[in-house]
Amino acid sequence: MERAWQAICQESEMKRRTKASRQDEKLRKGEIAVTLPERFDASLYFIGRIRTPWKRREDCPKNPRETNASCTIVLNSRWTDGLRGLESVSHIVVLYWMDRARRDLVLQMPRHYAQGRGTFALRSPVRPNPIAVSVARLVSIEGNKLNVIGLDCVDKTPLLDLKPYFATTDSVPEASVGWHASEKNGLKTAAGSDRRAKGRGKSSRRRV
């Protein structure tokens, strides 16, 4: 059964990759797409699904801090014992798979920023491996279901992993993102950067 499930996942990803390769006409001006590798280097398990109020990508909040909506993480029953001890945790790190995001862009033109950035300089869900991460407040655990606040993905998004959030090690108050600070302060980071890119609609996550 495990092999069959892996085969289904592989086939699904190959279909998604083929679809993404046909989306060149949907690129924003200035964006760059690349050819994806011919084969995958690893396999993974979806350990559950995330239930949220948002059915469409464009309905999702820009980031987890923009919403107080209650969401439910439904863990596959085989992993329920892995939740032992988590009930005492206030916040959890949630890793999930943005299965509706394309994977072939190396340069992106986000609608809410003034100029293009490399994929690895952004929190966009569009990336080679569309893994998203959020720190969510754990409200309660009922069997294999976790009620949380602080997610921003579409309903039924695949779950990859759960970890306790440690403020002592995970928080870096002095961290900064220079280009973002400049944009926020209304400074021009390059010639013509005051021209805002046209929107493509909100993506399924928001980001890692």
Q: What is the pTM of this model?
A: 0.74
Which residue segments constitute the domains of the chain, with CATH numbers given? 2-169+176-184 (2.40.30.70)
pLDDT at 16 over 90: no
For residue 132, the surrounding DSSP H or E stretch is strand 131-142
Q: What is the pLDDT of residue 191?
A: 40
Q: What is the pLDDT of residue 21?
A: 46
| Predicted confidence (pLDDT) per residue in 100-148, tens digit | 999 999 999 887 777 888 999 998 899 999 999 999 999 999 999 999 9
Picking from 153, 148, 146, the residue whose alpha carbon sits closest to that of residue 54 is 153
pLDDT at 62 over 60: yes
Picking from 124, 115, 100, the residue whose alpha carbon sits closest to that of residue 207 is 124
| Predicted confidence (pLDDT) per residue in 176-187, tens digit | 888 777 776 765
CA of 147: how far to CAs of 40, 162, 164, 201, in Å? 33, 13, 15, 28
CA 56 from chain centre, in angstroms, equals 14
| Predicted confidence (pLDDT) per residue in 19-47, tens digit | 544 454 589 889 999 999 999 999 999 99
**Pairing verdict, β 32-33 and 145-149:** unpaired
Are 41 and 129 within 8 A, CB to CB?
Answer: no
Q: What is the pLDDT of residue 193?
A: 42
